[in-house]
Amino acid sequence: MKKFFSTLMTWLDRLRRILINGFFVLLLRSVRVVITADQTSVPDDAALVINPVGKIVEELELPSSALVPSGLNVSAPNQTRLHDLIATIRYAANDSRIRLIVLKLDQMDATSLPKLQEIRLAIEDFKKSEKMVIAVGPNYSQSQYYLAATADQIFLNPLGAVAISGFAVYRNYFKDLLSLLHIDIQLFKAGEYKSAAEPLVRNSMSDADQKSNKQMLEVLWAEYKDDLAKMRAIKPERMQTVLDQPSKYLAQHGNSLADLAKAEGLVDTLADDGNIESYISGAMGYPSGDYPSIDFKGYMSAVNGEGVIEHKDRIGIITASGMILDGKQPPGTVGGESMQAMLEQARKDTNIKAVVIRVDSPGGSAQASEVIRAAVKRLKASGKPVVVSMGSVAASGGYWLAAPADEIWALPTTITGSIGAFGVLANAGKGLSKLGIHSDGLGTTAVAAGIRGDRPLPDELGKVMQLSIDFIYQRFLTIVSEGRNIPKAKVAELAEGRVWTGLDAHRLGLVDSLGSFDDAVASAAKRANLETYSKEWIQQPMGLRELLLVEIFGNADSYFSGIFYAMESKLLALTGISLPAQSIQHAAKLAEMVGLSDRAPSVFTICNVEVTP
């Protein structure tokens, strides 16, 4: 009887929660309907203001906090989805209601060159419709200016600046600090160029890392300058000369950065906001200065579903963006099980005839990467073409999962490769002994002590770690050799943990073709013999709490699916071997101790590519 009532109360409690949550969903939906009932339509003869906010991302990431018992406390990070921007610009090109585009870029964060190049292609297609593009801004960062350079007219505030400085890779190195703290770092790696742990074991950049970074930076900088030469007829040699001696040329223009920018052809007109508005309204035929306009998000919402022709045959799009981790993970990271489920969904859906995997990841867990790779192979075996489109970065684990694809596309400035493996452990035993804390004990085997943060790693366990990393490295070489049909000996020459630009990767055979995401989709359609098709973005299934977030943010494309998945580990031994909880905690404390907590994604990544634009 007691068990019966206990079970009854459990089910009543569950029913109560379902009813309360269901009511909450209905309430949010009602509020959303009221808010959007009077939604602004697209005005005729309007200016479309492209005003991206924050980071440009492949996939919208998690809010900073979740739904908690104490109340609803969700704030989304500032970010703009790359493919929303591109789709909006392309749609506006054929929308008779849109007269021109105004690029207002002052709230856009630094953005990788591959993403900028994809947006540029969409803007250039828009201009083919014989519609004007105007760029406005008080200042332009290097990323912002790249997009501004696509415009027919670029305006700059008379007190503003165009802050182009080139590309750089600089890091902090902590060997001496860790020595002062009596913390020993044990590094295991396979690959001469695998440099992610260098900041923990060196005081400066190694020769191998300098060589790799130099080649990468030269390609990125050459592409940036060449693109500006095409868009603004600015000679690369002249830009290099001015940036190598900026004070000299600034002095020639009365120390005005704005005047220097205009003299060098970077901008067309120096004007304040009022004059800029007058120019735009005049260009649109509104002498009064008041012209109709709609911003990017408003336009995207207003045209949602307009003119959409649904075809039975579809190309599935799956995004792999962020660090690769084991298990189920939320958007903004790549979960092995999460990706596997989406690939299986694509495999079983008879309407999906081909799949494009958009990879934008520096790598992570080899185990998770292998789970995804196996799912890609099963998808291929079903007869459906699989094409990979590489975004900003598709390195190490990102390349591992891409290797078996029928075809790999990348942009010339994509960072890829990094075929190698490593792991790093920290030992604070010496530091603890200085504080009078000592570790001692005994075990039944030579490896029984395990991985501890308070004592050195047993010699035998250290050998096992290195042998495991060697095994993973050889496995990686085999995967690339089989997937790309390159002799393993040749792969070994290209590996060693070295990163390559898409341009070099294409030359070396690691990438099949150079082109945009749209090029990859077109290739997938050709492989599947599709003349007409729809694109279907395959996303993780939403639970009740994710549905709540959809209602809160008001756009299914903006949901943060999987927000409540527990992160099984915060840091990985980036060989694919998850560290025991104690070691993970110790590594996290170490990162916090030496000021790396905010840098964890760059210090503890498989690729460790930090390019400052």
Q: Domain check: are 284 and 324 in the same one?
A: no
For residue 560, the model assigns a pLDDT of 31
Confidence of residue 434 (pLDDT cuts 50, 70, 90): confident
Question: In this structure, is residue 8 part of a structural domain?
Answer: no
Closest Cα partner for 405 from 534, 318, 331?
A: 318
For residue 541, the model assigns a pLDDT of 72
Q: Domain check: are 422 and 290 in the same one?
A: no
For residue 479, the enclosing domain spans 314-440+447-537+569-603
Q: Domain check: are 282 and 388 in the same one?
A: no
Counts of helices then strands in the chain (DSSP H, E): 23, 22
Report the distance separating Cα 324 and Cα 338, nearest Å.
11
Q: Domain check: are 279 and 394 in the same one?
A: no
Q: Domain check: are 293 and 338 in the same one?
A: no
Q: Is 526 a catalytic residue?
A: no
For residue 591, the model assigns a pLDDT of 38
Instruction: Please identify which of the residues 396, 418, 561, 583 carries the catalytic annotation.
Output: 396
Q: Domain check: are 291 and 435 in the same one?
A: no
Confidence of residue 264 (pLDDT cuts 50, 70, 90): very high
Confidence of residue 451 (pLDDT cuts 50, 70, 90): confident
| CATH number assigned to the domain comprising residue 375 | 3.90.226.10
Whether residue 586 is predicted with pLDDT greater than 90 in this model: the reply is no
Confidence of residue 5 (pLDDT cuts 50, 70, 90): low
Question: In this structure, is residue 179 part of a structural domain?
Answer: no
Report the distance separating Cα 105 and Cα 114, nearest Å.
17
Per-residue pLDDT tens digits for 208-258: 999 999 999 999 999 999 999 999 999 999 999 999 999 999 999 999 999
Q: Domain check: are 295 and 387 in the same one?
A: no
Question: In this structure, is residue 124 part of a structural domain?
Answer: yes
Whether residue 301 is predicted with pLDDT greater than 80 in this model: the reply is yes
Tokens describing residue 212: 């790799």
Instruction: Please identify which of the residues 55, 104, 194, 262 carries the catalytic annotation.
Output: 194
Domain stops at, among 302, 330, 358: 302
Question: In this structure, is residue 550 part of a structural domain?
Answer: no
**What residue type is assigned to position 219 of the chain?**
V
Per-residue pLDDT tens digits for 110-140: 999 999 999 999 999 999 999 999 999 999 9
Q: Domain check: are 296 and 322 in the same one?
A: no
The residue-averaged pLDDT of 387-392 equals 98
Question: In this structure, is residue 349 part of a structural domain?
Answer: yes
Are 426 and 184 in contact by the 8 Å Cβ rule? The answer is yes
Question: In this structure, is residue 484 part of a structural domain?
Answer: yes
Domain stops at, among 302, 324, 357: 302
**Strands 407-410 and 386-395: what pairing?**
parallel
Per-residue pLDDT tens digits for 318-342: 999 999 999 999 888 999 999 999 9
When divided into structural domains, the chain yields a total of 2
* Residue 492 CB contacts under 8 Å (≥ 6 apart), including other chains: 477
Question: In this structure, is residue 11 part of a structural domain?
Answer: no
Question: In this structure, is residue 217 part of a structural domain?
Answer: no
Helix (H, G, I), strand (E, B) or coil at 71: strand
Q: Is 396 a catalytic residue?
A: yes
Give the range among 27-36, 275-284, 495-504, 567-576 with minimum mean pLDDT: 567-576
Whether residue 6 is predicted with pLDDT greater than 60 in this model: the reply is yes
Report the distance separating Cα 453 and Cα 225, nearest Å.
48
